[in-house]
Structure 1
């Protein structure tokens, strides 16, 4: 099942989990993505000012992709249970 993210915090949590699953530190991920460790930290904490280009660079470094699909109709509580 694919992970679902609708907020900057949820995106950050998914990126953090993917980074840790691969055994990478924030600094190592930053090097792979061509970014500073501080930028990775801001993304993982859900900073809403992160540029899409920056998030895409992080996803590429983690061998992940961004997809746009029709929004599911689950309740807010059901969606929060995913995270």
Structure 2
């Protein structure tokens, strides 16, 4: 992907904006991204607009289909990007 700013996400709106940029940079239509993620277009549209009550499992599916991963780190720590399992 080109210039998608990755990093700390503090709000549903920030996550939605990042997902939308990633999808558009990949040249994927919203309907196609929804189908690939096994979610409805309404869900994806609401997620990209920052819906705060989006179902976590579906959010994780969309992230994965767009080639993104979610890391949880202690506040103030930087993610290493390594699998620690």
Q: TM-score category by the smaller chain?
A: 0.7 to 0.9
1:2-81 equivalences in 2 (<5 Å): 2-72=6-76
Q: TM-score, normalised by structure 1?
A: 0.80
After superposition, what is the alpha-carbon deviation per residue over 1:27-61, rounded to whole angstroms, capped at 9, x for unaligned?
01001100111110000000011011010010011
User: 3-state DSSP class of the match of 2:67?
Assistant: coil
User: Alignment length, in residue pairs?
Assistant: 73
Runs of 4+ residues deviating >6 angstroms: none
Q: Which has the higher helix share?
A: 1
Gaps of at least 5 residues in structure 2 are 78-85
| Stretches of structure 1 lacking an aligned partner (at least 5 in a row) | 74-83
